[in-house]
Structure 1
Amino acid sequence: MLLKYLPVFVILSLLAEVLGTVGGFGSSVFFVPIANFFFDFQSVLGITALYHLSSNMSKIVLFRKGFDKKIVLTLGIPAVVFVSVGAYFSKFLDPKILTYILGGFLIGLSLLFLMFRELAVKPKAKNAMIGGALSGLSAGLLGTGGAIRGITLAAFKIEKDKFIATSAIIDFGVDFSRSIIYYFNGYMHKRDLYLIPILIVVSILGTWIGKRILNNISQEQFRSFVLVLILIVGFISVVSNV
């Protein structure tokens, strides 16, 4: 990336971190399409994994008072397993087709929960495991699985601080696992490493701003915001590939 575009990239990355924090499902769902304008797809995967590690550490520290241990295990373990599978196969599959599928899935589910406000999915182990497996697979293949994890947690109607802390802990395990595989796939390049300290600062600042915003919105507003963001992400995923 040319240095003249660096300020634009940093500002957009900060916005992605704020939205990812307020939405509760991490910045990668916004950061990946942003980074695609500046880097090739494989470099985006490598940078996102490293950036997201610091992003999730910030959320774990700032939201450490609340997380659901049961969901961390039942959703997190399948996510970590399947992100490894997705990361390995990312070099063989067409990301455009996968992005269409992901976009359609997110649009359908977010509209369902927005139209039927009282609809909720019981936080049973089976439902959490399915959501974890799908989010992990998406994270490995496309660089982002937070939206699928977000729709799962939103369906469970989890309290907002617990939502964010739980999602961040799971995401940390996911990012650590895929970082190793992306490294061996050759997705991490020395020429991009100068961005890591910059993005660490961005992740901390963006998480702090996001937390301040969350302190001023209600639980129902939070859930609606999550679902609307996921709907927007779904449309962007489809339209960006047309």
Structure 2
Amino acid sequence: MSGHLLLTLAGASAAAFVLAGVSAVAGFGGGVLALPLFTALFGIRTAVPVLTVTQLASNGSRVWLNRHHLQWSLIARFSLGAVPFALAGGLLLARTPLAPLQRVLGIFLITVVLWRRLRPRPRRPSAAAFVGVGAASGLGSALLGSVGPLTAPFFLAYGLVRDSYIGTEAACALVMHLTKIIAYGATALLDHRVFLLGLALTPGTLLGAWTGKKIANRLSDRLFTTLVEAGLLVSGTLFILGP
């Protein structure tokens, strides 16, 4: 193994640790923040599948750490929309222009935060609405690697906070990532190199998730919501300015 590759993996592993910690605290954000870095290291067509493999560990660990607080009815409805659209998005990744979609998503996220500030008590979405949330998330996640910030406003408006929010969001994301693995494999985007890169980043991801969980346990509900909104603003900005 070359020195350059070792240095690249060391840097990516350190980033995976930090970003998994961010995800464990805020419930999302690690994938969005990692995408620009992974794109610079591996290229966009490799970065998205590598990020997906890495997020299997990140989301799986968050599901396990918050397993007693999962909202299974929301997870089931979300999955109904997410699975078919994640499959479709995974098949489209090899030939879809991604930059315009990223910028639209970024504008949406920033608008959501502003809207929440103007209307601090938004109408609670119905459980059935999460089928549509899952569909939009599945398609966007397959094309962009991660759209955790897209789901955050809906879970917050439904009333989920802290362990319930983090665990339920992670379970929904895990369903999407497993579906995307199947789609990427069908289009030859998922090869042995992608799997090895994803596995190499897994230890840092698991350690980061565990560390983030310890931090999240010390946060008040109000501070937690504020951190999530700050993450939405950062994620939206990165999508707008991204590659």
For normalisation by structure 2, the TM-score amounts to: 0.92
Aligned to 2:154: 152
**1:55-99 Cα deviation digits (max 9, x unpaired):** 121111111110112211122221222111211222222011111
Against the structure 1 CA distance between its residues 165 and 26, is the aligned structure 2 distance closer, same or farther, given a 3 Å change threshold? farther
Aligned to 1:238: 240
Counterpart secondary structure, 2:67: coil
Compute the displacement of 1:104 (Å).
0.8
Compute the displacement of 1:126 (Å).
3.8
Compute the displacement of 1:28 (Å).
1.6
* More moved, 35-44 vs 148-157: 148-157
Within 2, Cα distance between the matches of 1:121 and 1:35?
37
**1:134-177 Cα deviation digits (max 9, x unpaired):** 11111011111211112221222312111111111111111111
Aligned to 2:193: 191
More helix by share: 2
Q: Is the 8 A contact 2:75 2:168 kept in 1?
A: yes
Against the structure 1 CA distance between its residues 13 and 91, is the aligned structure 2 distance closer, same or farther, given a 3 Å change threshold? same
Structure 1 residue ranges without an equivalent (≥5) = none
Among candidates 180, 183, 194, match of residue 181 of structure 1? 183
State whether structure 2 residue 32 is matched by structure 1 residue 39. no
Aligned to 1:172: 174
Aligned to 2:95: 92
Compute the displacement of 1:4 (Å).
2.2
Among candidates 92, 104, 108, match of residue 107 of structure 2? 104
**1:108-127 Cα deviation digits (max 9, x unpaired):** 1122113432x233130343
Counterpart secondary structure, 1:186: coil
Compute the displacement of 1:211 (Å).
0.6
**1:36-73 Cα deviation digits (max 9, x unpaired):** 11011111121111111111211111111101122111
Q: CA RMSD in A?
A: 1.7
Among candidates 18, 21, 33, match of residue 21 of structure 2? 18
Aligned to 1:57: 60
**1:7-29 Cα deviation digits (max 9, x unpaired):** 22211121111111111126322
Q: Is the 8 A contact 1:20 1:30 kept in 2?
A: no
Counterpart secondary structure, 1:36: helix
Within 2, Cα distance between the matches of 1:235 and 1:148?
13
Percent of aligned pairs with the same amino acid: 25
Structure 2 residue ranges without an equivalent (≥5) = none
Within 1, Cα distance between the matches of 2:118 and 2:10?
39
* More moved, 209-218 vs 124-133: 124-133
For normalisation by structure 1, the TM-score amounts to: 0.92
